[in-house]
């Protein structure tokens, strides 16, 4: 079942197309990553999907609801955490959570239970009595994300939710999100930290200049666009090794206590075979050999660069 279905969705400001006739399909119970450079159209797309701004064209269905015709019905079933900081400066952390539950008409017993659960899940117990004005930026961000879980929802939009969080708090939030998805929640997730997307997302769309330029699972994106692999070979300190390896292909050599030969090529396996043959013929022992997989960050940079230069993203 599709949780989000957008067709030819557009938003223009004068002659500038912030979102340029995009199609999106997000399955229920999944974590959908939405990646792109600054100014690519990510936040505008979220505001369109959550009915915070009107579209210039196209259609949006959220949980089977035509969001343009019945935005209130759609909003009742979703949660939204935008990039912009949002907090009540004079309220304590626990009062902020409780107030948010009251705004959504959550009954008092459920509110109390959820406040305690979220204070624990987001490691906020020690600051529960502190006012939001008196806590750090990262702590405020945790409160901002935590309070969204005070109400029931089927779909949650998270726009850069880990900004300002330390690594421990970031991993805790990502694991909490994973747990909620196992319980049936669908997540629409944007981030500039590509390791987060690789760790969390079932499917990823990459947007650039208002257009969707790639959509697939992290593994399939790597299969499509990650043709180059990096192979590292460590040998003992050897003189004139560069002369020995002339003409075998694309590689570089770095020196520390020994010698590391780095192969970075679309034909890295063929280059590896040639280098091993040369090393063997010269009685040079290989101390270590490792294959470094292509990262999602490398894929992202490649796809965006190809889009900017007009090169087809398909291999």
The pTM of the full predicted model, rounded to 2 decimals, is 0.80
Q: In the structure encoding, which two tokens stand for residue 104, read together?
A: 């959504």
State the pLDDT at residue 315: 46
DSSP 40: S
Instruction: Spell out, as residue ranges, where the chain has pLDDT lower than 70.
Output: 226-229, 251-257, 264-266, 310-315
Q: What domains sit in the chain, N to C, each tagged with a CATH number? A: 2-217 (3.40.50.300), 227-292 (3.30.70.250)
The total of other beta-carbon atoms located within 10 Å of residue 160's CB is: 19
Overall residue count recorded for the chain in this entry: 315
Q: What is the DSSP string of 123-182?
A: T-GGGTTSBGGGS-HHHHHHHHHHHHTTS--SEEEEESTTTT--HHHHHHHHHHHHHHHH
Q: Which of 87, 55, 86, 83 is nearest to 69 (CA)?
A: 55
State the pLDDT at residue 9: 97
Q: What is the pLDDT of residues 2-49, one digit of tens each?
A: 999 999 999 999 999 999 999 999 999 999 999 999 889 999 999 999
State the pLDDT at residue 305: 82
């Amino acid at each position: 079942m599709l949780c989000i279905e957008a067709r030819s969705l557009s938003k223009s400001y004068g002659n500038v197309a912030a979102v340029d006739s995009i199609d999106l399909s997000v399955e229920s119970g999944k974590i959908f990553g939405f990646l792109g450079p600054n100014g690519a159209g990510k936040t505008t797309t979220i505001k369109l999907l959550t009915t915070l701004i009107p579209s210039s064209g196209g259609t949006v269905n959220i949980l089977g609801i035509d969001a343009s015709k019945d935005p209130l019905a759609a909003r009742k079933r979703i949660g939204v955490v935008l990039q912009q900081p949002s907090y009540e400066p004079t309220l304590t952390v626990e009062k902020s959570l409780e107030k948010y539950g009251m705004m959504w008409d959550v009954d008092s017993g459920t509110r109390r239970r959820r406040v305690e659960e979220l204070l624990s899940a987001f490691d906020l117990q020690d600051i529960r009595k502190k006012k939001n004005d008196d806590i750090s930026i990262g702590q405020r961000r945790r409160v901002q994300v935590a309070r969204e879980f005070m109400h029931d929802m089927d779909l949650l939009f998270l726009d850069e939710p880990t900004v300002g969080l330390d690594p421990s708090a970031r991993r805790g939030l990502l694991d909490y999100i994973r747990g909620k998805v196992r319980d049936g929640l669908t997540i629409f997730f944007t981030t500039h930290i590509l390791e987060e997307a690789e760790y969390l997302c079932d499917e990823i769309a990459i947007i650039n200049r208002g257009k969707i330029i790639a959509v697939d699972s992290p593994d399939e994106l790597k299969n499509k666009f990650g043709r180059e692999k990096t192979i590292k070979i460590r040998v003992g300190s050897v003189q004139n090794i560069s002369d020995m390896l002339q003409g075998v292909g694309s590689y570089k050599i770095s020196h520390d206590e020994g010698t590391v030969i780095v192969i970075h090529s679309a034909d890295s396996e063929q280059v590896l075979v040639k280098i091993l043959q040369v090393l063997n013929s010269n009685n040079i022992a290989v101390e270590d050999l490792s294959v470094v997989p292509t990262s999602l960050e490398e894929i992202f940079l490649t796809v965006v660069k190809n889009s900017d230069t007009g090169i087809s993203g398909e291999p």
